[in-house]
């Protein structure tokens, strides 16, 4: 009895100590740190002032979803096309596509969005801000999806291409009927990671004046004199992205298990 | 304006006369960007290692907390966190300088990712190594410092390089703060001169820094892929 309880204590001692530390820290924060918690509640969690204003966030929320869906669609399309083109091993495509990937993997999203929105009008190309964000995000994440699709296509064995050729398929048929369906399985977990990144990066649209969540929150912050809308928006972002994060880590775990067995 | 001649493009986008006398502002912006990047890289790598070390122990409570922290960082856009820290916290009479809030936010978010990378690296090292080191009479700390961390660093290098590139890219987001980093400097000159050349120049400066890093990262990733 005694030995087992000692063992238990040994096993969980670090957990216990951590728990006690956290508890002490919370007690300190709440009572002894001298922080003004009523101020915190009033400024950060003042949902009474937000009442009747939640509808303002509906259209920007839809806008964020729209930008993400469009950008994801275009990025996937770009990635798929370029990866297929690259798989034919033609020198010209090889060089240009690699250059594209390196260029857009290197450029910061913020810089590209600003460049597209503020520089293109000088050559008479006046894109609406939403479209310029969609365009930059598609180009940016197209580079990542190209790499993803390429590794997916590479993961299919060479033998299968030869087999499908010997069945009389041409290279396009082999790509469409044999390689891509198998590549999809490898490709989907990393694609969800791209989806997360796109969702997060849409927030950059704030800089070029797209009326999205942050912009609305900052407006409302000025009106009601409290940061609560900002907190609300960050929770909103969290709630949109978290399901995708969970889905993505599930898929990744499953694919890892699948590849190990 | 409507009749765009292709020969006009260099005059619009690469107009060096516009940049005359403005390079100093642009380069001071570059310096600020590099400062933020270097401080953030050093700190987030340090804290990432710390997070990883806390994760590999058998402490259930700490593990749960750190998983929550990781998921939080994965699901929070950096720009939102930056606005909350820089524009939100002053409402509580907690004020950080733009530089400090940039570093705090970038380190907070990237330390989670780097911690995850380090954890994967440490876990990938065979258990027999730890057992061997322990049987040689090394203490747990010694095992960690002399056996696990050096090997983990090598395994983790590709994802570490990727994160570092990400940190440098994220410094551009700090334009929304009152700090004249590279992109902000370019925007200031560009608005003043009504010409996009400074924006193009700043993009080129970013690319000069980032393209080598991206290429190195891709090489490292490829090498790791071959080893498997």
Find the angle CA(A135)-CA(A137)-CA(A139) to the nearest 5 degrees. Answer: 70
Residue B2: the pLDDT is 53
Q: What is the mean pLDDT of residues B7-15?
A: 77
CB A196 within 8 A of CB A179: no
pLDDT of residue B104 exceeding 50: yes
- The answer to whether residue A34 is domain-embedded is no
CATH number at residue A149: 1.10.3720.10
The distance of Cα A140 from the centroid of its chain, to the nearest Å, equals 12
- The answer to whether residue A186 is domain-embedded is yes
Residue A174: the pLDDT is 83
Mutate which: A110, A242, A259, vs B, most B CBs within 10 A? A110
Chain B residues whose beta carbon lies within 8 Å of the beta carbon of residue A227: 84, 87-88, 91
- The answer to whether residue A9 is domain-embedded is no
For every residue of B175-221, which 3-state class applies, written as one string?
HHCCCCCHHHHHHHHHHHHCCCHHHHHHHHHHHHHHHHHHHHHHHHH
Complex confidence, ipTM? 0.87
Residue A226: the pLDDT is 83
- The answer to whether residue A65 is domain-embedded is yes
CB B62 within 8 A of CB A15: yes
Closest CB to A238: pick one of B75, B93, B176.
B75
Phi first, then psi: give them for residue B3, nearest 5 degrees. Answer: -80, 90
- The answer to whether residue A24 is domain-embedded is no
pLDDT exceeding 90 applies to what percent of chain A? 30
Of the pLDDT bands very low, low, confident and very high (cuts 50, 70, 90), residue B223 is: confident
Contact between A201 and B77 using a beta-carbon 8 Å cutoff: yes
CB B211 within 8 A of CB A106: yes
Break chain B into its structural domains and give their ranges.
22-227
- The answer to whether residue A26 is domain-embedded is no
- The answer to whether residue A29 is domain-embedded is no
Contact between B215 and A204 using a beta-carbon 8 Å cutoff: no
Of the pLDDT bands very low, low, confident and very high (cuts 50, 70, 90), residue B151 is: confident
Domains in chain A, number:
1
Chain B residues whose beta carbon lies within 8 Å of the beta carbon of residue A38: none
pLDDT of residue B220 exceeding 90: no
Of the pLDDT bands very low, low, confident and very high (cuts 50, 70, 90), residue A79 is: very high
Note the pLDDT tens digit of each residue in A86-103.
888 889 999 999 999 999
pLDDT exceeding 70 applies to what percent of chain A? 96
Contact between A43 and B91 using a beta-carbon 8 Å cutoff: yes
- Given 1.10.1660.10, 1.10.3720.10, 3.40.50.300, 3.30.70.890, which CATH number is that of B22-227? 1.10.3720.10
Of the pLDDT bands very low, low, confident and very high (cuts 50, 70, 90), residue B37 is: very high
Domain region containing A166: 57-260
- The answer to whether residue A35 is domain-embedded is no
């Amino acid at each position: 009895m005694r030995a087992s309880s000692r063992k238990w204590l040994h096993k969980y001692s670090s957990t216990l100590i951590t728990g006690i530390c956290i508890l002490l820290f919370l007690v300190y924060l709440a009572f002894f740190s001298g922080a003004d918690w009523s101020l915190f509640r009033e400024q950060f969690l003042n949902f009474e002032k937000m009442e009747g204003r939640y509808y303002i966030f509906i259209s920007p929320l839809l806008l964020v979803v729209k930008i993400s869906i469009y950008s994801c669609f275009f990025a996937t399309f770009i990635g798929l096309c370029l990866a297929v083109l690259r798989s034919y091993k033609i020198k010209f495509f090889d060089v240009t596509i690699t250059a594209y990937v390196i260029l857009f993997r290197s450029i910061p999203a913020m810089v590209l969005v600003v460049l597209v929105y503020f520089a293109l009008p000088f050559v008479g190309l006046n894109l609406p801000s939403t479209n310029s964000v969609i365009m930059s995000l598609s180009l940016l994440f197209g580079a990542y999806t190209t790499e993803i699709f390429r590794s997916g296509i590479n993961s299919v064995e060479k033998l299968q291409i030869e087999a499908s050729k010997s069945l009389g398929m041409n290279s396009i048929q082999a790509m469409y009927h044999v390689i891509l369906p198998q590549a999809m399985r490898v490709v989907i977990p990393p694609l969800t990671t791209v989806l997360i990144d796109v969702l997060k990066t849409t927030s950059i649209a704030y800089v070029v004046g797209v009326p999205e969540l942050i912009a609305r929150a900052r407006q409302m912050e000025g009106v009601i004199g409290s940061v609560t809308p900002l907190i609300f928006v960050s929770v909103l972002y969290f709630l949109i992205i978290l399901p995708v994060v969970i889905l993505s880590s599930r898929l990744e775990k499953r694919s890892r298990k699948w590849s190990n067995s | 304006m409507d009749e765009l001649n292709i020969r006009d493009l260099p005059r619009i986008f690469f107009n060096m006369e516009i940049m005359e006398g403005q390079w100093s502002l642009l380069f001071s912006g570059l310096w600020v960007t590099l400062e933020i990047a270097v401080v953030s890289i050093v700190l987030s790598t340090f804290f990432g290692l710390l997070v990883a070390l806390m994760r590999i122990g058998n402490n259930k409570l700490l593990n749960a907390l750190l998983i929550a922290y990781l998921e939080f960082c994965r699901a929070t856009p950096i720009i939102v966190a930056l606005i909350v820290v820089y524009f939100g916290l002053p409402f509580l009479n907690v004020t950080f300088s733009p530089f400090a809030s940039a570093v705090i936010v970038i380190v907070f978010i990237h330390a989670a990712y780097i911690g995850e990378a380090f954890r994967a690296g440490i876990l990938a090292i065979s258990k027999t190594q730890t057992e061997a080191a322990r049987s040689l009479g090394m203490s747990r700390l010694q095992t960690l410092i002399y056996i696990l961390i050096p090997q983990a660093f090598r395994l983790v290098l590709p994802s570490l390089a990727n994160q570092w590139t990400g940190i440098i890219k994220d410094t551009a987001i700090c334009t929304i703060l009152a700090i004249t980093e590279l992109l902000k400097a370019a925007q200031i000159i560009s608005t003043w001169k009504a010409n996009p050349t400074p924006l193009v120049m700043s993009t080129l400066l970013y690319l000069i820094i980032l393209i080598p890093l991206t290429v190195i990262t891709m090489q490292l990733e490829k090498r790791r892929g071959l080893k498997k």
